[in-house]
Copies of this chain bind each other. A is one copy, B any other.
């Protein structure tokens, strides 16, 4: 077990990573007023562990799936906490994947203007990404993360124990974000390439998870509120990925990040931003995770969705593009040009099939 300290100006997060982290850290919350929030899937697998570890907790189980990430579920959680007489000094434990972490984090940040929050991410995606950094949210009318806060968890417990029960698709989803980190950080890129035939090995995942969190924690430390131009690096692949996810659906978030990365790499190469060889190496990693690239119809409709991306300040479409190992840059494109590139990429890519 290793510890990462994420110090922001206002509050600190302690992140405990590795085998044994749950065993070592969770018992610290056995006593005291604790509200554990989880979902139906996780509860089916780990309900007994939750009861054993937090015998006196107030357990709230939300339906599994992104559909739960809405204001109604959020209000139900807050209402239940109030009914159970939770105090200002209680602790909310988010025990689950990204949806649980986002909504439980938001609930913790809002209940009596903020109570202690502990994140125990149980998916690879939430371990390498959403559980660290303090972004909380629910969706509104189908638009992602419209309502949210920046709220650092007091502690994050990242234990590979939970990866063992994940379906392969969930591992792939997490690998999507891990490959994204590879496109940002040279050391992660190197490690991914060295282990390209080994990406799903639990020992390797434990190690690379730590590396990704360390990278993210460093960025969050310097740009907690995503307003200093650093944190947006983490959106690599996301502008196009989100747009496609919104339009086509049917795949995990991490997979859409990889699909987005693929299209954006095409733009990066066309614009002379990224060298062809490096782009090919990144595409190799993408293929290794995805197996094959999906073909989508009506690319222009999907492109439009990128404009509404809340990460953009105006109608320009902002793309975070890989430059070379450990280097990235931002490119802003108008919708017309962006659509043209996406279509070109899709047709070249279809030609390969």
Residues of A within 8 A of B (CB): 9-10, 71, 75, 78-79, 82, 87-89, 109-114, 135, 137, 140-141, 143, 145-150, 225-226, 310-311, 313-314
Contacts and interface: CB of A to CB of B under 8 A. Distances in A.
Q: Max chain B CB contacts within 10 Å: which of A82, A87, A113, A143?
A: A113
A76 to B, nearest CB: 11
A313 B87 contact: yes
Number of copies: 2
A310 B225 CA distance: 28
A79 B141 contact: yes
Nearest to A150: B113
A310 B137 contact: no
Interface-central residue, A9, A110, A135, by most chain B CB under 10 Å: A110
Nearest to A148: B113
Nearest to A224: B10
A116 B153 CA distance: 24
Given A9-B10, A88-B313, A89-B313, A82 B140 contact: yes
B71 A146 contact: no
Given A9-B9, A313-B89, A149 B78 contact: no
A137 to B, nearest CB: 7
A9 to B, nearest CB: 6
A109 B71 contact: no
19 contacts: A9-B10, A75-B140, A78-B140, A78-B146, A79-B141, A82-B140, A87-B314, A88-B311, A88-B313, A89-B313, A110-B147, A111-B147, A112-B310, A113-B135, A113-B148, A113-B150, A114-B149, A114-B225, A149-B149
Contact of A113 (B10, B89, B137, B141): B137
B9 A79 contact: no
A112 B313 CA distance: 12
Contact of A110 (B78, B82, B143, B149): B149
A292 to B, nearest CB: 35
A312 to B, nearest CB: 8
A71 B110 CA distance: 12
A304 to B, nearest CB: 14
Given A87-B313, A87-B314, A79 B140 contact: yes
Contacts of A226: 113
Contact of A147 (B10, B78, B146, B311): B78
Residue from A89, A112, A225 with most neighbouring chain B CB atoms (10 Å): A112
Nearest to A10: B10
A146 B74 CA distance: 13
A310 B88 contact: yes
Contacts of A111: 146-147
A82 B112 contact: no
A75 B139 CA distance: 12
A183 to B, nearest CB: 24
Nearest to A135: B113
Contacts of A71: 71, 75
Nearest to A71: B75
Given A109-B149, A114-B225, 10 more contacts: A9-B10, A71-B71, A82-B140, A82-B143, A87-B313, A88-B311, A89-B313, A113-B148, A113-B149, A113-B150
Contacts of A146: 78, 82, 111-112
A111 to B, nearest CB: 7
